[in-house]
Amino acid sequence: MSAPPPKPVLLTGASGNLGRMLARELGAAGWTLRLTDIAPFPDPLPPGAVFVRADLNDGVALLRQAEGCGALLHFGGVSVERPFEEVLGPNLRGLYHVYEAARRERARVVFASSNHAIGFHERPREGEPRLDLDCAFRPDGYYGLSKAYGELMGRLYWDKHGVENVNLRIGSCFPKPTDARMLATWLSYPDLVRLVAACVAAPRTGHAVIWACSDNPRSFWGRDHRERIGWRPRDSAEAYRAEVEGRLGDPVAERYQGGAYASIEYSRAAPSPRDPFALE
């Protein structure tokens, strides 16, 4: 990992699973962190870190916490599929507050996007090309829709205000894979830490998109901007293949890249077409 950044870094969603892990690892590497979440921080604070409990809907609180920061790691908000009204405030309005804070501070945003922004793309068949970064958004629920919105917010703030942002389309970030789908989507904790550090350290990013998964031969995803930030994953889900290969989902989950999220409240009589604009 490169040297700690010269300015403090704000981490939203610090009390969540990924936020806690990032706070621990980045704090141990000497980063000066400002941590925030709507929930209390459950762990001992890393050296040099401060925690402020706040709601992403509170734009003034977020602006205050971002003062003097060089980067905003936005991992906050609703992190699973929920009804639209529950997603609306933290994931849409809260993201606007993050970008307004970044615009004022001329800070870079590292946004925890998700594979669920493209989850209704079908899984590639053998020999078919993988999805590239400029594929169409095909969210598989309201959570995925909010992540597509987040990436478009980054596009807007780069084009209109020059706010640099890196959008991490996170696959499945857990200590280890838990089902067969994760042979394609798994992202190890160490690979995520190195990815976030590279996003902050890169001299320039512009508006960038990264398929945030480990070095998985079965990955659904192809070209992205990882060369721009100098990141390469080191881990691979293949080490767990024998453990998870037979753990499959229902037919809808197995058809689409978003897995089980595509199955939630799915009511079509026939699968949606591979071509996003086809009738059937």
- Residues known to be catalytic: 143
* Helices 94-105 and 59-66: angle between axes, nearest 10 degrees: 30
Contact yes or no for 195/185 (Cβ under 8 A): no
Q: In this structure, what token pair is assigned to residue 250? A: 């229902």
Contact yes or no for 42/53 (Cβ under 8 A): no
What is the three-class DSSP state of 12? strand
Q: From 28, 35, 46, select the one nearest 12 (Cα to Cα).
A: 35
Measured at the CA of 144, the angle between CA 140 and CA 148, to 5 degrees, comes to 120
Between the alpha carbon of residue 84 and those of residues 70, 87, 274, 279, the distances in Å are 32, 5, 25, 26
Q: In this structure, what token pair is assigned to residue 46? A: 């890393």
Q: Write the Ramachandran bin of 106: left for phi over 0, alpha for psi from -120 to 50, otherwise beta.
A: left
What residue type is 210 in one-letter code? I
Measured at the CA of 57, the angle between CA 55 and CA 59, to 5 degrees, comes to 100
Cα(57)–Cα(55) distance, integer angstroms: 5
**Cα–chain-centroid distance for residue 86?**
19
What residue type is 123 in one-letter code? R
